[in-house]
Structure 1
């Protein structure tokens, strides 16, 4: 999740654990900093753009590492706060909960969080929450601002604090239910349209759980389907995109060390394209909107140089949204299914078949 959400979640936990004895402001700031610590790995260089992408949310987001680190930080905080009598357990709870809720909340997004590192580097990602969702964040932001402005604990604040956690947690639980409903609905729509798929992923559209995106993977193509949560009388619209360059063979991919790394991390939800300079680009289809995916990499061909590769891939920047996306998204939330302007030319008409598919079932390539 975004940094503000993680800070206010940690702040709320800090206040719940430490606020009565130490004041709301000090407890909120302490919890907010604790809730931010796992994301400090963004300042660590793992060796290159690709490595930084894959290894973010690894060690510092591991429940195992966080459990080991808890007593070290908790003891330090307890001493810093001058060892209040009988208050040690509260510091252990504050540190442990601020760390672990950060990791578990991140795992509800689709990015991938290595919760069990170092025993496995599998990136857990439920994908029921978008990385920024105001309906989850606002209750926690409210109690944090209250704690910073009026730092004295009162019974009224205790009730508001409980209500904020209930609301945010209930919304998080709601996202799991909504995702399950939309998975079934998307599968039905693909089947009704006669679209056979290797994999289907259903994730929320930006900032909401009331409109969803389904991605269906085929060997040469991928198909986007956008659906509102509310029942709509509008016909679903399918968008078909090239996923695999015509000239690319499975054997050629052996020359790109980054490919299998990205394939494993994206769990097969990637596309490959060739730029005007004949460079191969691999995009993570799970994050961003076609054609501007957040994580796109120009992957390096080891046969192009006699020297050892200095970098496995170079990240390519992109815009976060296209013209007309805001109006289109607002309509989707209301239940209006219309053509997304940025994908207008990729609409799959009712009587149109998918692009011809080639058997690109390469071993370890999705």
Structure 2
């Protein structure tokens, strides 16, 4: 979830939390700061990009570590804000604000290590795109109304209920997307397959459905509330073009990719995939597929992508590979330029 939404969720939590010993201003500031604190894992990025990607949404987002982080934040707040009676005045608020951050990340499709450091298994409800304007506006409305209705918690309560209803709506449509995937797989007479659905922006009806069938992936971008084909004129803007790529399930444009490619590419891709230098991506990717192989005089670059993040109008943000002859890890940036990823 983006940090504006995290901030607003912390402000709503501060408004609802009954910490009478603290002024409302202090509660707002402490709640907003605590609701963003887990993303301090960004400090790992300058040390090592691989370390960051493997620990992002890790220990700082862990339910098991939450009591300790709340204690640390409470102690810091008790030193920063005057007039409190010590860390105990902040502990409950810090706990709630950290929890809403974790929940806000858990509902997205990226994955959160809820039980780090004892396991790096990631968990995801996968209902909500990482930037959700509707959810953000619900929280913003609740906070803004609360500034005018200073003696009432009702705006914050209504916002909380609105967020719950919105996520529930998204969850319903996710189940519909999964049903559409099952229907397509069964129409192809595939016997063994798994179906997942990734949220896409701006509407709860937009989903990318992924079907894994052995080493093959089939995916399509669906708009579940329509039954007519989506079109966009060639001269329309980028957003209209992207949204027109989402089609009703019965008119979906299903694409197929293999995990390791075909022919000679398959052998090389399998070799690169198994190398220890690529351990971070084997852990990270839920739907890995060969993106391309670039051949250079000094050796090839073998690129993989995570199909969870393939979306219309958006260059894949998670494309990684190894480049010979030393087989170092690289990442393709949005312009397609390889960047060392160490």
Using the alignment, how far apart are the partners of 2:321 and 2:199 within structure 1? 27
TM-score (norm 1): 0.74
- Over 3 Å counting, the alpha-carbon distance change for 1:100 and 1:228 in structure 2 is same
Of residues 231, 253, 258 in structure 2, which corresponds to 1:238?
Answer: 253
CA shift digits 1:116-160 (9 cap, x unpaired): 00110111122111101122111211233455xx488222xx211
Which ranges of structure 1 fall in alignment gaps of 5 or more residues?
A: 321-366
Counterpart contact for 2:181–2:210, Cα < 8 Å: no
Of residues 161, 182, 187 in structure 1, which corresponds to 2:182?
Answer: 187
CA-CA distance at 1:207 after TM superposition: 3.1
CA-CA distance at 1:241 after TM superposition: 3.6
- Over 3 Å counting, the alpha-carbon distance change for 1:296 and 1:203 in structure 2 is same
Q: What does residue 285 of structure 1 align with?
A: 307
Q: What does residue 252 of structure 1 align with?
A: 271
* Counterpart mapping for 1:75-86 below 5 A: 75-78=75-78, 80-84=80-84
Counterpart contact for 1:273–1:281, Cα < 8 Å: yes
Of residues 164, 168, 178 in structure 2, which corresponds to 1:169?
Answer: 164
Q: What does residue 124 of structure 2 align with?
A: 125
SS at match of 1:225: strand
Q: What does residue 350 of structure 1 align with?
A: none
Using the alignment, how far apart are the partners of 1:152 and 1:163 within structure 2? 13
Q: What does residue 143 of structure 1 align with?
A: 142
Counterpart contact for 1:215–1:225, Cα < 8 Å: yes
With a CA cutoff of 8 Å and minimum separation of 6, indicate the structure with the bigger relative contact order: 1
Q: What does residue 294 of structure 1 align with?
A: 317
Using the alignment, how far apart are the partners of 2:334 and 2:214 within structure 1? 25
Size of the aligned set, in residue pairs, is 308
SS at match of 1:113: coil
Q: What does residue 52 of structure 1 align with?
A: 52
CA shift digits 1:237-266 (9 cap, x unpaired): 233243333223276236632444323322
Which ranges of structure 2 fall in alignment gaps of 5 or more residues?
A: 229-247, 337-342
CA shift digits 1:322-346 (9 cap, x unpaired): xxxxxxxxxxxxxxxxxxxxxxxxx
CA-CA distance at 1:289 after TM superposition: 1.8
Using the alignment, how far apart are the partners of 1:68 and 1:28 within structure 2? 21
Using the alignment, how far apart are the partners of 1:240 and 1:113 within structure 2? 28
Q: What does residue 72 of structure 1 align with?
A: 72
Using the alignment, how far apart are the partners of 2:130 and 2:155 within structure 1? 25
CA-CA distance at 1:199 after TM superposition: 3.1
CA shift digits 1:257-291 (9 cap, x unpaired): 24443233223444342124331011111124268
SS at match of 2:64: helix
Counterpart contact for 2:21–2:89, Cα < 8 Å: no
Of residues 129, 153, 170 in structure 1, which corresponds to 2:150?
Answer: 153
SS at match of 1:289: coil
TM-score (norm 2): 0.79
- Over 3 Å counting, the alpha-carbon distance change for 1:152 and 1:239 in structure 2 is closer
Q: What does residue 264 of structure 1 align with?
A: 283
The Cα RMSD (Å) is 3.0
- Over 3 Å counting, the alpha-carbon distance change for 1:176 and 1:252 in structure 2 is same
Range moving further from structure 2, 286-295 or 180-189: 286-295
CA shift digits 1:29-70 (9 cap, x unpaired): 321111111112113237543332222111111111221121
Counterpart contact for 1:225–1:236, Cα < 8 Å: no
Q: What does residue 217 of structure 1 align with?
A: 212
